[in-house]
Every structure is written in structure tokens, then in C-alpha cells.
Amino acid sequence: MDNIVFDFDYAKACVTSNEIKKIGSQLIPEIENIKKSLPSGYETDYASVHVLSDDHMLESVTYLVNKKKKLHISTLVVIGIGGSNLGTIAIHKALHGDFHNKKNPDVKIYFADTVDADYLSDVMYLVEKELCSGENVLINVVTKSGTTTETIANFEIFLNLLKKYKTEKYNDYIVATTDKDSPLWDYAKKHAIDCLEIPKKVGGRYSVFSPVGLFPLGFLGVDIKNLLAGARSILQDCLDEHIKKNPAMVSAAINYIHYKQGANVHDIFVFSKYLRSFGQWCRQLVGESVGKKFDREGKEVAVGVTPTVSVGTVDLHSVAQLYLGGPQDKFTTFVSVTPKAEIFLPKIDAFEKFVENIQGKSVSFIMDSIIGGVKAAYASDKRPFVSVHIPGVEEIYLGQLMQWKMLEIMYLGYLLHVNPFDQPQVELYKKETRKLLEK
Amino acid sequence: MDNIVFDFDYAKACVTSNEIKKIGSQLIPEIENIKKSLPSGYETDYASVHVLSDDHMLESVTYLVNKKKKLHISTLVVIGIGGSNLGTIAIHKALHGDFHNKKNPDVKIYFADTVDADYLSDVMYLVEKELCSGENVLINVVTKSGTTTETIANFEIFLNLLKKYKTEKYNDYIVATTDKDSPLWDYAKKHAIDCLEIPKKVGGRYSVFSPVGLFPLGFLGVDIKNLLAGARSILQDCLDEHIKKNPAMVSAAINYIHYKQGANVHDIFVFSKYLRSFGQWCRQLVGESVGKKFDREGKEVAVGVTPTVSVGTVDLHSVAQLYLGGPQDKFTTFVSVTPKAEIFLPKIDAFEKFVENIQGKSVSFIMDSIIGGVKAAYASDKRPFVSVHIPGVEEIYLGQLMQWKMLEIMYLGYLLHVNPFDQPQVELYKKETRKLLEK
């Protein structure tokens, strides 16, 4: 099997091999911890790793995908927010792009996440148009706790809409993905709604390869077996104690070194419009996992890398001036991909003087030249970076990419001595919100 | 006329009135500079301010909009990148949302910006489908220099496509927006293609109210007169020397104070999915204008605020943990909007125990409660912020919002003693790219 290609050139990353060895060795106990946890299945904080080889889980997902397919669904509405849809969107967009719904697919998809009346009104209009014209719509409501404000609000709204058109068997057109015994789980069971379980210890931002991501993706025709196979294949590497063989160990160490040296911003710079959502998924993973007020001993530390997402070449016309001229406060991971399509420019002599050397060339050649140009400019100005290349828009590579990133961030959390699996600070605004909702 | 509402509470912004007065007074000479420049029209660096009252420019745009409307266009393709489309996208998305093309509009719109083969292939497929079915497609190619690599590449590709279906009068279906006497200008004139001029001194990131933004927006039916009226109305305030009346002066001063105190990240936190693109436009404005290696005297300074864009409530489930728990390295501008749509939750008793106090409430009430909760949490943790509220999704307010932001950033540049109108560092990667294109 081919692999995604990691280019961790130490000179370009502005680190030394000795530094990496030293920091990497600090990770050995954590690798041991994860390995030891494997036989315990879903019992430990590393439960998300276990999900990759849970055949029973995959069977339940596949069973429900097939069952719901028989209902001749035209449109899937995924209701969920944050960890409940970012991974799904990342993979869907990477594979199907921005125009999936326009290209006459078997199944259209809409995401209802926040409580934005104008957005919601648009999605409701489009979904109702389907129902109105006799098409069938499937709702997949995803919330780990079963009590996420936005998700419950959206679920009630779409449940109402669904019931208007499917008076009797509306429950056939819903799948609930949630923790066992959450209020939503109980509600679903009571109303004969099909459920998929999110294992308790699989946190939202690590749940893309659980039913959270696999059900909607599987329903859209994504090869979820290959996604998992990709994730499993890189997991082996990322649990290797030899630093030269372990890409998560190296990238975590490089991240850590730059954060400690004052780079508080980590830019995920993807050179593909359809990987923007992968960047957004990374943003949650980094932000929630290593942005912490307290360390593992409860000492106030206020650490955290601020994740940013740039999309090339668009954002070269937006932030390159800053990134190449401003303060040395960033570390960058470039992500590039070999596209599916091949497009050639025509040869038009008149245009040769506009931009030299592009006549008749392929669009990808121009893209690659710009990526190369950017990396050379970063290197010559000692702006630290690493690179990852995806050799094709395929499930197997996306599985590798995302599983590597999850391991990297667990390791970074370990190095920063914080818990990468909790998010206690979000309670601050939720508490204040509850007060206002009472009014 | 109503105004957008600025809430610059000094306590919440973690600044004192004395600090603001002191920093604000440093801006008086710059305000004088801008005022003095007004009669010189397009001669100075402040040319973008002049564009707001250039009736001749507005007439040329309106004339061409009307002329091309007569061609019964189904689809507009805007080819441009960075300053050539970010403002257009910001206003288009704010007014029309993410599903404009699906809602049977008079005119669909596509943006061709980067050299991403998969994205490009999708847009080409959809545009060719229009042409194939006998519909008319209008291309608006926008590049200030006329030599932007990505834009010329895309223009050649779409020109080729257009010529396939409009063999004779293909030139009728193109509008070129560019500097007078750029290579593109000359090409257009030679081929009887209609042109709109970008005044020389109006830089890309300040060009949204020039033909760059006004032509495509006007063609989509946006009330461009009201956009300009909004921009002009706030310009008066933003040139007032009394700091209490001048929102750009205050927000620039607050930005400056926090940057000087170590907050190198400025988050634009919009509570509306359709304002994400406004955030992306801000990102360019901030990144390119104040991210500088050298100051006005050529001294190496490497200053720059890193702009980030967050979209509420989605990103509360992504970066709130970091923003409320991590380092005190951020300053935030919250932007909220009164939506067009009003949607109420049903009253379903069973759901009362899922989330308390939302049954039967409006979606906007829930949104407002979350916004209020977030601000209270930021305030109680001394995370500095200011707020802006847009009282409706209307041209007039978007004009105000964007013009305020442009003035704020000019002022911030002045305070940081850098030139907010150039972007010399981008040449670094362009030079390297040219070498690779030669191969």
C-alpha cells in the first residue's frame, strides 16, 4: 500500500536531529501507554485508537447504511456541531468537493450545525423542496452527550419538518448517533429510531472513525473500510518507538520545540480548496486538545498553540506578506495533494508576455511551481515548516492523514503536560448562556 | 439612516480611556493627511477613499451592468484572486448566502481563483453545462496588474471554453477589470472586450468599492449605490478628529495597545455563517497591510498581527477551549447580525430535559443567548474584545462595516509606523516560483 509522504526536513523545520531525538525520547512512555491500552478496548482515554479495529462497530454502521439505503433517500441531513460533523465534512469535501449536490449525486447532503436563522432557513427550504416533491430525506442527528444546545434545537426543527411529510413512519427516516444512555439514546429507543453508539471514551474531536463519521460518509458512498485501513496502517508507524519510523513523534516534537521557542501560531497551509475543511478539523483538534488553562497536576499554565488554516494559492494573496515579513511567531505544516483532474492551459501566444512559461502547461504544474516557490521562500527566510503530500484523493490516504494528526496531537499534549482529551473551559460560556436562556 | 452599532466598552476591551485618548491623538496627523488628500482624487495612497464619491466610475459600472444584462446571462464567472475577489465574495455571501446558485436566481455565480485542478474541473463542468444547454455565460476577469499568474491561467482556460460555444461574438461575453494600460487592458482593447478601470493607486485589498467589486455585485442585483452610500456615511465618522465620534480611531487604538502588549493574534469572531467570507476579506486586509518586515524608514522591524477568523457558534465547539483557557495572546472583534429569517422551535415537552429553556423559542434568541454567554465568559476571564452589530443584512450596513475596517487598518498601519498600502514580501515566493516555471 502506498503512503502519504512526510517531508520532515530538519533544516527547513529549523530543528536539529539532536533536539528531535531528545524530545522524541520523552514520548516513549506515552507510546507505551497507548500500546498497553490497546487490549482494554474502549476503557481508556485512547479509546479512539481502538475504534479502528472494532469490527462490530463497522458492522453496525454498514448494516444501518444498507437498511436506510433501501428507503431511496435523495438527501441526507447531518445535524451535529464541532466534533460531531467536522471530520465528516473534512472527508466529504476532500473526496467530493464543494459542488457535490450540484453534480446529480445519488445522495445530496446538508449540514445543520449552528443556530443561524438565515443559514437554517436556506437548508430548510432546500430540504422541504425535496420532501415536497416526494423525495425521501434521512436525518442523522449526532451528539455525544445528547444535550448539545444547537443540535437539539436543529433536530427539533427538522423532526417537525419531517413529521409534516412522513406522518406515520417518520422514525424510519432518522438515525441517532450518540452515547449509550444519553437522553437522545433513550428518546430514540422509545420512538423506535435507529441508534449508533459513540463509545463513551471516544471524544468528539477524535471520533471521525467512529459511527460519527462513518455512518454519513458510508451513506454517501465513501469507502469507509479503506478509510479505516488507512488509519490502521499509519497507526502502526505512529506507535513505533524508533523516531525515524514514527511521523507523529517527529512532527509532535517539531511542534513542541517551536511552541517552546515562542511560535504560538501553527498554520495548516493546504494547497487544495477541498482540503480547507480538513484544516478546520485540525483546528478543533489542536485548539481543544492543547489549549489548556491547567496542566495535568492542576497547575495554572495557560498554554496553547493557536491553529490557523490557510488555503493556497488563494491565501498567498492574503497572508503571505505577513507570513514572510512579519514576526517569527509561526510554525507551518504544508499539505499538498495530487489532484484527480488534469487540465492543460491552451497555448495562446498573446498571453506569453502576461506570465512567462505557463502556455500549454498543466494547471498542476503551475500549482506545484507555486508550492515550490513558497517553500523556497520560507526556507530562505528561516520560516520553519514541514510538508505532507497526499498522492491521491482517496480514502486510504485521508485515513492516514487524519490518524497521523490525531496521534501527533496526543503526543503534543503529552509533551506540554496537559490532558489532550478534555475541554473544561468551554463550560465557562455555557454556564453564562444558560443564565441568559432562562430570561 | 441607521448605523451599524459599535460597542467599544473599554473595560471589556481591557484598555483605559486615557490610553485611548493618548494613542488616538497620535492619529490626528493621519486623519489630516487623508482629509487633505480628498481633493486630489486618485493621486495619493488614500485613493480608495476617493472611489466612494466617483460618480463617473459608478456610471461606467452601471452602464456595463445594463449592457451585459441585455445578453440574458445565466451565469457569471468571476476570475480573480485575493484583492480581486475577496471583497466581492464577502458581500455576495453576506447578502445571498451559501446556496445562491441553488435557489433559482436570475444569475448564478462561480469564482475561479486558484490553480486547483479538481476545483477548476468542477467549475468548468458546471459552466460548460450552461453553455451546452444554450445559456449565456459572462466572464469578468479581474486583475490589477493584468499579470497575476493564477488569473491569467484561469482566464485562458475559460476564454477557450467560451470560444468553443460563442465562436464569433465571444468578446461580448467578457468584461476585463484592470489597470489602464496593463497587458490585459491592451489585449482587451485590441479584441473589443469591454474594460473597467481600476485606478492605479487603489490597491487590491482596498478595491471592493471600485469596479472590482461593484461590477460583479451590481450584475448580481446588489444595490451598489447603497453600498457606496453606507461606506460614505461611515467615512465621515471615521475622519472625525473627536475620538468619541470616530469608531476607526478607537478600534485601531485598541488593536494597537493589545499588539504592543503581546497579543499577536486578532480574531474576527463572526456569529453568522454568511459572514465567514467577510472575515476572510478582513484577514487579507490585516495580514497584508500591517504584516511588514520593514517600517516606513526601511528599518527591519518584522511586525504584524496574525488575523484569524472564527465563526460562531460552530467554532465555540472548536477553539473556545483554547481562546478561554490558553495564553493571553489574542484580541477579539465580535461581529453579530440581525438575520433576515425568523424561525421558532416547536414546543416538544420531551425535549425540555435535553436542553432547558429553549422550547418554542426563536433560533435567534438562542443565538443571542450564546453570544451573550461568550462575551460574559470573555469578560470574566479578562479576554479583551470589542463588538460590532449589524442591524440587518443590507447593503448600507455592509458598506459601513467594510469601510470602517479599511480605515481602522490604515490607522493601525500608521500607529505601527508601516506602510499599509504595499506588500513587498510576496515578491519572495513569486521570484522562486518563476524559476520553477522555467523548468
Question: Which whole number is the average pLDDT over A293-307?
Answer: 96
Is the alpha carbon torsion for B230, B233, B236, B237 positive or negative? Answer: negative
Give the pairing type, strands B108-112 and B306-311. Answer: unpaired
* Beta-bridge partner residues of B388: B6, B335
Cβ distance of A118 and B357 shorter than 8 Å = no
Question: Which whole number is the average pLDDT over A270-285?
Answer: 98
Question: Which whole number is the average pLDDT over A283-291?
Answer: 97
Domain boundaries, chain A: 5-35+227-415, 47-222
Question: Which whole number is the average pLDDT over A48-54?
Answer: 94
Residues of B in contact with A342 (CB under 8 A): 117
pLDDT of residue B401: 98
pLDDT of residue A267: 97
* Beta-bridge partner residues of A76: A109, A138
Cβ distance of B274 and A350 shorter than 8 Å = no
pLDDT of B56 higher than 80: yes
pLDDT of residue A175: 98
Under DSSP, is residue B158 helix (H, G, I), strand (E, B) or coil? Answer: helix
pLDDT of A309 higher than 90: yes
Residue window 35-74, chain B: list those with CB within 8 Å of chain A.
none
Is B47-222 the same fold as B5-35+227-415?
yes
Q: Which residues contact B80 (CB under 8 A, 6 or more apart)?
A: B88, B111, B113, B140, B141, B142, B143, B148, B151, B177, B212
> pTM score > 0.95 for this model?
yes
Q: Round to whole Å and give the CA distance between B408 and A378.
A: 29
Give the CA dihedral B413, B417, B420, B426, nearest 10 degrees: -120
Q: Sorting pLDDT into bands at 50, 70 and 90, what band is A192?
A: very high
Q: Round to whole Å and give the CA distance between B62 and A376.
A: 44
Is this prediction's ipTM beyond 0.85?
Answer: yes
Q: Round to whole Å and give the CA distance between B385 and A297.
A: 30
Give the pairing type, strands A292-294 and A300-303. Answer: antiparallel
Q: What DSSP character marks residue A262?
A: T
Residue with cell 480611531: B249
Under DSSP, is residue B112 helix (H, G, I), strand (E, B) or coil? Answer: strand
Question: Which whole number is the average pLDDT over B378-400?
Answer: 97
Q: Which residues contact A57 (CB under 8 A, 6 or more apart)?
A: A51, A197, A199, A210, A211, A214
* Beta-bridge partner residues of B68: none
Cβ distance of B82 and A317 shorter than 8 Å = yes
Catalytic residue of the set A56, A103, A242, A430:
A430
Residues of B in contact with A433 (CB under 8 A): 369-370, 372-374
Cβ distance of B302 and A326 shorter than 8 Å = yes
Task: Name the residue among A102, A121, A429 with its Cβ closest to that of B320.
Answer: A429
Asked if B354 has any chain A CB less than 8 Å from its own CB, the reply is: yes
Q: Round to whole Å and give the CA distance between B227 and A344.
A: 39
Asked if B399 has any chain A CB less than 8 Å from its own CB, the reply is: no
pLDDT of residue A415: 98
Minimal CA separation from A242 to chain B, in Å: 32
Cβ distance of A370 and B433 shorter than 8 Å = yes
C-alpha cell at B84: 480581486
Task: Name the residue among B283, B327, B373 with its Cβ closest to that of A303.
Answer: B327
pLDDT of residue B51: 95
pLDDT of residue B1: 59
Architecture of domain A5-35+227-415 in CATH?
3-Layer(aba) Sandwich (3.40)
Measured CA distances, B353 to A159, A183, A187, A188, B358 (Å): 17, 8, 11, 14, 10
The burial class, CB within 10 Å (0-12 / 13-18 / 19+), for A343 is middle
Give chain A's mean pLDDT: 96
Q: Round to whole Å and give the CA distance between A324 and A315.
A: 12
Question: Which whole number is the average pLDDT over B21-34?
Answer: 96
pLDDT digits (tens, 9 = 90+) for B85-127: 999 999 999 999 999 999 888 999 999 999 999 999 999 999 9
Residue window 185-224, chain A: list those with CB within 8 Å of chain B.
187, 204
pLDDT of residue B72: 96
Apex A315 CA angle, A247 and A392, nearest 5: 45
Q: Which residues contact A277 (CB under 8 A, 6 or more apart)?
A: A86, A89, A90, A92, A93, A94
Other residues' Cβ atoms within 10 Å of the Cβ of residue B272: 26
pLDDT of B348 higher than 70: yes
Is B102:B154 a contact under the CB 8 Å cutoff? no
Task: Name the residue among B159, B326, B393 with its Cβ closest to that of A303.
Answer: B326
Cβ distance of A322 and B342 shorter than 8 Å = no
Main-chain dihedrals φ then ψ at residue B324, nearest 5 degrees? -100, -10
Is A201:A220 a contact under the CB 8 Å cutoff? no
pLDDT of A377 higher than 80: yes
Cβ distance of B363 and A116 shorter than 8 Å = yes
Asked if B264 has any chain A CB less than 8 Å from its own CB, the reply is: yes
pLDDT of A439 higher than 90: no
Asked if A183 has any chain B CB less than 8 Å from its own CB, the reply is: yes
pLDDT of residue A168: 83
pLDDT of A1 higher than 70: no
pLDDT of A2 higher than 90: no
Query: Fold for domain B47-222?
Result: Rossmann fold (3.40.50)
**Is B168 tagged catalytic?**
no
**Is B156 tagged catalytic?**
no
End-to-end C-alpha distance for chain B, whole angstroms: 58
**Is A430 tagged catalytic?**
yes
Question: Which whole number is the average pLDDT over A415-433?
Answer: 94
Q: Sorting pLDDT into bands at 50, 70 and 90, what band is A23?
A: very high
Task: Name the residue among B294, B321, B372 with its Cβ closest to that of A426.
Answer: B321
Minimal CA separation from B358 to chain A, in Å: 7
Is A121:A157 a contact under the CB 8 Å cutoff? no
Chain B residue with minimal CA distance to A342? Answer: B117
Give chain B's mean pLDDT: 96
- Burial letters for B162-192: b for 16+ Cβ neighbours within 10 Å, e otherwise? beebbeeebebbbbbbbbeebbbbbbbeeee
pLDDT of B380 higher than 70: yes
pLDDT digits (tens, 9 = 90+) for B402-430: 999 999 999 999 999 999 999 999 999 99
Asked if B293 has any chain A CB less than 8 Å from its own CB, the reply is: yes
Is A202:A48 a contact under the CB 8 Å cutoff? yes
pLDDT of residue A29: 96
